[in-house]
Amino acid sequence: MNTKEATIEQLNKIGEGRFPGYLGIEITRVGDGEVAARMDVKPHHLAPNGFLHAGSVVTLADTACGYACRVNLPEGADNFTTIELKSNHLGTARDGAIEVVAKAAHMGRTTQVWDAVVTNAANGKTIAVFRCTQMVLYPK
């Protein structure tokens, strides 16, 4: 896949049989330095207390940021890996869907920093803010 011209369909395909696919994460938009995604909240996304598990939220945000990094790698780079991530959880959901938009804060040659906002799809309220740093990898 030419990552600079990746389609929504291609990005959804690479998640099949992997963690994003198992969680039901669906890429909904790619372009202009952003990636958007959504996930229908199912019982397996909840913690034992009945609220949305923080790991489910982080995985949605990290997937959007990772895919955004993938489609915005600098020339000559062939991959990336997360070297740091942080999230602040401000709300929750028990059903419905959650959405995320990932946007670049820094797109350097050796690192990229991505910010994401996760919202409740039904009411637009922010559930979490997320930031990750990706190390850009080059062939040896």
Pick from 32, 22, 31, 27: nearest CA to 8: 27
Q: Using 50, 70 and 90 to split pLDDT, how confident is the model at 4?
A: low
Q: What are 56-86's pLDDT values in tens digits?
A: 999 999 999 999 999 999 999 999 999 999 9
Query: What average pLDDT does the segment 28-39 reach?
Result: 95
Q: What are 106-134's pLDDT values in tens digits?
A: 999 999 999 999 999 999 999 999 999 99
> 113 burial class (0-12, 13-18, 19+ CB within 10 angstroms)?
middle
